[in-house]
Amino acid sequence: MKTGIVGFCLLMFGFLLGGVVISKFPVHAQSDTQSAPMDAATLTAAVTQLKNSAPNQSHVMGDVAFMCSNVWFAGQKKNWPLANYYLSETEGRLRWMVRINPMPKGPTGVVDIQAIFGPIDMNVLPMVRQAIQNKDSAQFTSAYKQMLAACYQCHVSTGRPFLRPTIPTDPPQSIINYDPDGKLPE
């Protein structure tokens, strides 16, 4: 009972102190720069700054490779929850890549990445997810290889046939234990 009263008093003190702070330092919903309309030059400069600060596709694809490699090693160890996690991370990075530059230049002009990624997202990635959910190693290996083939077709379409995905032979990181029964270091 006594701790309940003390807790209630502390809560009320917090509300009172918060009210004093807010009354002394009012918070405005928008700053002056946010509420003022932008002219065309300011808007263009802001868009250019955002474009220049966004990572390029090769940076994002490095993340994709990292996550996709982890999918493979988790699946090989039959750590299906970890494989599922890394597949979700792979999908997120691929969607990020499409948002960054949906129409990059390819060997014969502009390439519609969304048109290429759509079937991968709707057909190939769900096959990998299904294999993980089924905890089926043979299905997983087959679906993973199909995913790599689809990735390669995207590389070819964007003029990068020299980027040939392969089944990884070494884990991309040594800090994650892929063993589903792995223990923490003692």
Closest listed residue to residue 75, CA positions, set 184, 181, 180 = 180
Sequence-distant (6+) residues with CB within 8 A of 105 are: 111, 159
Please report the domains of the chain, with CATH numbers, ordered by start residue: 55-103+110-157 (1.20.120)
173, 70 in Cβ contact below 8 A?
yes
Closest listed residue to residue 104, CA positions, set 155, 151, 63, 66 = 155
The whole-model pTM stands at 0.73
Q: What is the tens place of the pLDDT at every residue in 105-120?
A: 888 889 999 999 999 9
More confident residue, 126 or 174: 126
Q: What is the tens place of the pLDDT at every residue in 26-64?
A: 555 555 556 667 888 888 888 888 888 877 888 889 999
